[in-house]
Amino acid sequence: MNPLRPVFIALSQSARARRLVIHYGPMRRLARRFIAGETLDEAVAVVKDLNRSGILATLDHLGENVAGEQDARRATEEYQQLVQRIAQESLQSSISVKPTHLGLAFGEDFCYDQLRAIVRTAQQFGLTVEVDMEGSAYTQATLNIVHRLLEHHRNLRVALQAYLYRTEEDLKQLIMRGGSVRLCKGAYDEPSTIAWRSKKQVDASYARLMLMMLSEQALQNGFYPALATHDHQLILQAEREALRRNIAKEQFEFQMLYGVRRDWQRRLAMDGYRVRVYVPYGTQWYPYFMRRLAERPANVLFITRALIGG
């Protein structure tokens, strides 16, 4: 695990650090490696380019922890407009939302109403809504809302984090329902009481959960796996497992982040796999940018070299 991770997670929550970074030109330019832009038009251009390369997308209008209910309602309307724009442009893209962006702080029922409105709009256009998973304080509430929505809607997918001890049981429940899961390693700084801390442990957990998602029982139940990782060893293991189990390439997908491992994105797409790239945009990019730096030492080295060189 990146030893600087706790530092960058703390910085992601610092208002002072945020002001410094967003007004520092070189850092704003470097953030564009991971952020499609601050406007929807910029993000749409990125998605079109990905689609031309045979790569799917997930658009996310960045935002989290809104200050009031009106802000959450405004975010809901913006996501509904985003769905319509995707349909109008004939983009091959789903959308991703964070529950705290939709007012989870004001209660599960309030957030459920906002998310249900988005899911209903997306359903009209045949689009999927991906529900992001935030820090562990929100895990249970997020899953409560997702399970309620699954009673009436199938066009949604929820992210689960492999570093949490609880995830195996959460995944079993979603497999039983025939839902869809985006499995990632986890991007927050969680304590050892609830999460594995070492890379070796997190990798082992991811591999175990991935095999559950690719099991015959899961696929026969209508479960759709989305494997979100940039770890080439895990990707190769998934490829071997799919080949061994005779799993068709359209029965699952790989997911990656915009600006990360573009070589593997292209390689997998050229080999006929379904590849989906998470494309974030908007003015509220700072916390997301800090979490990307927290995830991998390579990202920090990239930024350091660019700053020294620039």
37 has which bridge partners?
A: none
3-state secondary structure the chain: CCCCHHHHHHHHCCHHHHHHHHCCHHHHHHHCCCCCCCCHHHHHHHHHHHHHCCCEEEEEECCCCCCCHHHHHHHHHHHHHHHHHHHHCCCCEEEEECHHHHCHHHCHHHHHHHHHHHHHHHHHCCCCEEECCCCHHHHHHHHHHHHHHHCCCCCEEEEEECCECCHHHHHHHHHHHCCEEEEECCCCCCCCCCECCCHHHHHHHHHHHHHHHCCHHHHHCCCEEEEECCCHHHHHHHHHHHHHCCCCHHHCEEEEECCCCHHHHHHHHHCCCEEEEEEEECCCCHHHHHHHHHHCHHHHHHHHHHHHHC
What are the CA-CA distances from residue 10 to residues 15, 16, 214, 301 (Å)?
A: 10, 11, 35, 19
Q: Has 182 been annotated as catalytic?
A: yes
d(C-alpha 288, C-alpha 166), whole Å: 24
Which of 5, 116, 182, 261 is labelled catalytic?
Answer: 182
Q: Which residues contact 83 (CB under 8 A, 6 or more apart)?
A: 95, 118, 121, 122, 125, 127
Residue in 5, 60, 116, 132 annotated catalytic: 132
| The residue type at 116 | R
Report, as residue numbers or ranges, the catalytic residues: 132, 182
